[in-house]
């Protein structure tokens, strides 16, 4: 009777394995169909996103968005100069908040005269006042602050 019991157990185990395999194959088929449906939805969303980005007017020429992130003139924004990043951030801020009256730029020492000029043009175009923190006392219209108090304005120098 030992062989008959062993054979019966093997038969029951084999049937159980076959049922589990059939259930797994059914699950795979169901999930495969669901994955295909969701992939189609993602493709549609990507197309809509691409259309919206193509129709959008960017606040900075050359600013785009890709799967790799924010790009400026085809280069990742993180690789742009600090001055380019600053101008881009200000342009986006001014576009997003048109009622914004004042913008404070802490790292103005990174800006050369051309970058400062572009910043001024950007501020004028958006009706915004830009306060630029810089090192030195010779800038026209500068307000000199020492130890948290106004020491003088460059008009008084």
Q: What is the pLDDT of residues 49-79, one digit of tens each?
A: 889 988 888 888 888 888 888 999 989 999 9
The confidence score (pLDDT) of residue 14 equals: 87
Q: 69 has which bridge partners?
A: 66
Q: 146 has which bridge partners?
A: 149
Q: What percent of the chain clears pLDDT 70, i.e. is strictly above it?
A: 94
CB under 8 A, 24+ apart: contacts of 150-154: none
- 29 and 98: one domain? no
| Statement: residue 10 has pLDDT above 90 | no
- 76 and 108: one domain? yes
144 class by beta-carbon count within 10 Å (0-12 exposed, 13-18 middle, 19+ buried): middle
Q: Which domain holds residue 15?
A: 1-56
- 106 and 134: one domain? yes
- 73 and 131: one domain? yes
């Amino acid at each position: 009777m030992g062989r008959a019991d062993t054979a019966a157990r093997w038969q029951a185990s084999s049937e159980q394995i076959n049922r589990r395999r059939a259930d797994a194959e059914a699950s795979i088929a169901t999930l495969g169909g669901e994955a295909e449906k969701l992939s189609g939805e993602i493709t549609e969303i990507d197309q809509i996103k691409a259309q919206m980005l193509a129709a959008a007017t960017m606040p900075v020429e050359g600013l785009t968005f890709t799967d790799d992130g924010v790009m400026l003139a085809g280069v990742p924004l993180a690789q742009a100069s600090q001055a380019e990043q600053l101008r881009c951030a200000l342009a986006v801020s001014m576009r997003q908040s048109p009622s914004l009256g004042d913008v404070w730029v802490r790292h103005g020492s990174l800006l050369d005269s051309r970058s400062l000029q572009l910043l001024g043009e950007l501020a004028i175009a958006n009706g915004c006042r830009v306060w630029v923190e810089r090192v030195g006392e010779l800038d026209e219209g500068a307000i000199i602050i020492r130890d948290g108090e106004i020491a003088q304005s460059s008009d008084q120098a």
